[in-house]
A and B are shown apart, each in its own frame.
Chain A
Amino acid sequence: LTNTSITDAQEMETIWTILPAIILISIALPSLRILYLTDEINDPSFTIKSIGHQWYWTYEYTDYGGLIFNSYMLPPLFLNPGDLRLLEVDNRVVLPIEAPVRMMITSQDVLHSWTIPTLGLKTDAVPGRLNQTVFTATRPGVYYGQCSEICGANHSFMPIVAELIP
């Protein structure tokens, strides 16, 4: 490394190319394995479709019968004391805890993103495409999220509220 009179450093150059490549591959392979593991099949017990519109969400529960409803943000004038401004909706999406839930997310018009940060969920709603996210919640409660892909004038006013009950 410190010999100043080498004119041909072929061996050294080979070593300091191959060795970092090996190090990087040995970092990448377990990382890719973990990445694919997060896509594992976990046999969801429940599937719900979430369709983004400008500027509200539609939820479809089609596993057992057909329940379809829209979820609009509650305007500030309609809030009760204690409600969260710009986060409350008229119809919340009700989900079970301790069961794998599959959310199929798409959009009717432009890009949206269905997000619930406290559940670690963020999935883009792409028109013409069905994205899937699977999760298993462990704690009951009310979970809030907001559309996370700019979708027009009321992008900030189409929140997501999930009620997780046993």
Chain B
Amino acid sequence: MAPEVLPKPQMRGLLARRLRFHMVTGFVLSLGVAALYKVGVADKRKKAYADFYRNYDAMKDFEEMRKAGIFQSVK
């Protein structure tokens, strides 16, 4: 009975293959995470500030605080 012949495993270039995989993956992941952060965190935060200040009335806020009596210099 002929013994079962397994396919010859990959014997060479293992380090090179690992390096290529990790360099490409690292590059793509870092760019991807940076882009996601920019859109999901940084731009979202800037938009939140812009939206808040678009219709913000500092005088109205001030008058409410003044009536609540928190200031010492204006009553």
Residues of chain B at the chain A interface (Cβ within 8 Å): 13, 15-16, 19, 53, 56, 58-59, 61-62, 65, 70-74
Pick from B16, B58, B59, B71: contact of A163, CB under 8 Å: B71
B70 touches A142 (CB 8 A): yes
Instruction: Answer whether A139 and B13 are a contact pair too, CB < 8 Å, given A92-B72, A165-B71.
Output: no
Instruction: Return chain A residues, CB-CB under 8 Å to B74.
Output: 165
A133 interfacial contact with B, CB 8 Å:
no
Residues of chain A lying within 8 A (CB to CB) of residue B15: 2
CA distance A139 to B61 in the complex (A): 8
Count chain A residues whose beta carbon lies closer than 8 angstroms to a beta carbon of B.
Answer: 14
Q: Which residues of B contact A92 (CB under 8 A)?
A: 72-73
Could you tell me which residues of chain A, from 25 to 39, have a CB within 8 Å of some CB in chain B?
Answer: none
**Cα distance A98–B62 when bound, in Å?**
13
Cβ contact within 8 Å between B58 and A139: yes
- Considering the complex, give the chain B residue whose CB is closest to the CB of A141: B65
Residue of B nearest to A161 (CB): B72
Q: Other than the known A1-B19, A94-B73, A138-B56, what 16 A-B pairs have Cβ atoms closer than 8 Å?
A: A1-B16, A2-B13, A2-B16, A2-B19, A97-B58, A97-B62, A138-B53, A138-B58, A139-B56, A139-B58, A140-B61, A141-B70, A142-B65, A163-B72, A165-B71, A166-B62
Report the minimal beta-carbon distance from A98 to chain B, rounded to whole angstroms: 7
